[in-house]
Amino acid sequence: MAQADRLGWRQSLARSVVRLSGGRIVRRLHADETGATAVEFGIIALPFFAILFGIIETGMVFLAGLVLDNATTQASREIFTGQAQTQNLTKEQFKEKICANVLALLDCANGVIIDVQSSLTEIPKLTSPKDADGNFTATGDTWDPGVKNSYVVVRALYQYPILISGIGPIDFRLDDLAGGKRLLVSTIVFRNEPYAAPSQAQ
């Protein structure tokens, strides 16, 4: 009987020690914050950098659009004042004048497409440069700077490649063309000045 009592006492003591030790271990694990920063950074790093680079790329797209607008406006002045017509400027030469004012943001020589239309009676009507599936369809075959008093529409188009698209659950997208590109369009509408033709200027 005494031996059974001693055995029961030892078992009870052992269970108490285990409970005490287990509680301490749990408390220590709960209080241990080693590596918490790394875990938290791992959770937020991907969305953070995705949003950061998305903001940067959005800024680059808007800057590229502004640069294209400015270059198209500057070059179009030669049509507006009649210099392009009196000098028999070709479409390729006009494109070179646009590219001269474009920064390295755009591959102007290989990427910019020029579309120039004119009419003596009304502003020319433009067609969409892409189809319903987002495929780029503009060819840039039209080069008609018009004559004096003509209504002219100058359009420069560029397919800007997008690197980051579809950020997380918000599905933030910059591309609107097939192939992950965004269409940049610069359109200038004006009426040519009543400039003097070469024969009149002599």
CB atoms within 10 A of CB 169: 7
CA-based nearest residue to 72, from 195, 189, 191: 189
User: What pLDDT is attached to residue 165?
Assistant: 67
Q: What is the pTM of this model?
A: 0.73
pLDDT at residue 3 tops 80: no
How many other C-beta atoms lie within 10 A of the C-beta of residue 36? 9
Check residues 141 and 68 and name the one with the higher pLDDT. Answer: 68
Q: Which two tokens stand for residue 125?
A: 């009507």
Non-local (6+) Cβ contacts of 96 within 8 A are none
pLDDT (0 to 100) of residue 154:
97
Q: Which residues contact 156 (CB under 8 A, 6 or more apart)?
A: 68, 71, 72, 98, 112, 113, 114, 115, 185, 186
Averaged pLDDT for residues 97-110? 88
> What pLDDT score was predicted for residue 1?
53
What is the average per-residue pLDDT within 182-201? 84
CA-based angle 88:199:120, to the nearest 5? 65
Q: How many Å is the Cα radius of gyration of the chain?
A: 35
Q: Is 123 exposed, middle or buried (0-12, 13-18, 19+ CB in 10 A)?
A: middle
107 or 200, higher pLDDT:
107
- Is residue 136 within 8 A of residue 183, CB to CB? The reply is yes
Which of 48-52, 63-67, 97-101, 189-193 is least confident?
A: 48-52
Flag whether pLDDT at 19 surpasses 60: no
Q: Which residues pair with 172 in a beta bridge?
A: 167
E strand or H helix at 169, and its extent? none
pLDDT score of 202: 42
pLDDT category of residue 23 using cuts at 50, 70 and 90: low
65 Cβ neighbours under 8 A, 6+ residues apart: 184, 186
Confidence of residue 194 (pLDDT cuts 50, 70, 90): very high
Q: In a 3-state reduction of DSSP, which class is residue 64?
A: helix
For the chain, what percent of residues have pLDDT higher than 70? 74
d(CA 78, CA 70): 14
Q: pLDDT value at position 123?
A: 93
| Stronger pLDDT, 70 or 169, i.e. the higher one | 70
